[in-house]
Amino acid sequence: MKNKLWIVYAIIILGALSYILFFMPIKKDENLEKSNISEKKVYGNLEDMFTMLLKENYEYTYNILIDTEKYLYVGKKDGNKETGTFTSKNENQSYNKINDFINKNFITPSYIYNLVKDLEYTKDKYDNIRVFNYRTKINNLETEIAIYTDYTSITKITITNIKEQYILNYKNIGFTTLD
């Protein structure tokens, strides 16, 4: 008789577990779902990002290689005002206007925007970085241009051909002031 009670008891427990596992609805945590939705980030529009950059209010670091000469510019730009430091093999100085050693078009956001706005591109994504890749000819040289963005702004532009490489890093776009 005891064996029969154990068998009935085991069947009841198995039945209850089966009901709990297979037939009871699982209650979803709505707060968890909402937080996952709010954490999903969307990249901004590249044209809007260029609009912010075209206001010429940002901090920058330009690493430039022309033939074998390296130039480094670290500065701030606020409209027509500009300040920073310039470093090359032979010099290290402060400036309020970028010198003529480099192609100033390649560091001018409006020139870059007008150059790429009608070009076809490929797009890559790496973690939280998006890259627009362009190819064109400038002064009869095949030139590659890559525009890197995070979710809200352009963070870097590279312009590369057989003679020159410009790596333009931007930060604090729209939030830089010069006194």
Residue type at 126 in one-letter notation = Y
Q: Could you read off the pLDDT of 30-72 as tens digits, one per residue?
A: 555 555 555 678 899 999 999 999 998 999 999 999 988 899 9
Separation between Cα atoms, residue 71 and residue 87, nearest integer Å: 6
Separation between Cα atoms, residue 18 and residue 169, nearest integer Å: 60
Residue 165 scores a pLDDT above 70: yes
For residues 127-153, average pLDDT: 95
- In this prediction the pTM is 0.75
- Partner residues linked to 174 by β-bridges: none
The percentage of residues in the chain with a pLDDT greater than 70, rounded to a whole number, is 78
Whether residue 53 is found in the same domain as residue 35:
no
**Domain contains 137:** yes
pLDDT at 120: 96
For residues 156-171, average pLDDT: 96
pLDDT at 39: 65
How many domains would you assign to the chain? 2
Whether residue 108 is found in the same domain as residue 158:
yes
**Domain contains 86:** yes
For residues 64-90, average pLDDT: 88
User: Do the Cβ atoms of 168 and 157 come closer than 8 Å?
Assistant: yes
Tokens describing residue 19: 């009901």
Tokens describing residue 103: 């192609």
pLDDT at 34: 57
Tokens describing residue 156: 């870097």
Separation between Cα atoms, residue 123 and residue 173, nearest integer Å: 22
Least confident of 4-13, 70-79, 134-143: 4-13
Range of the domain at 158: 46-171
Tokens describing residue 5: 């009670």
**Domain contains 179:** no
Whether residue 60 is found in the same domain as residue 127:
yes
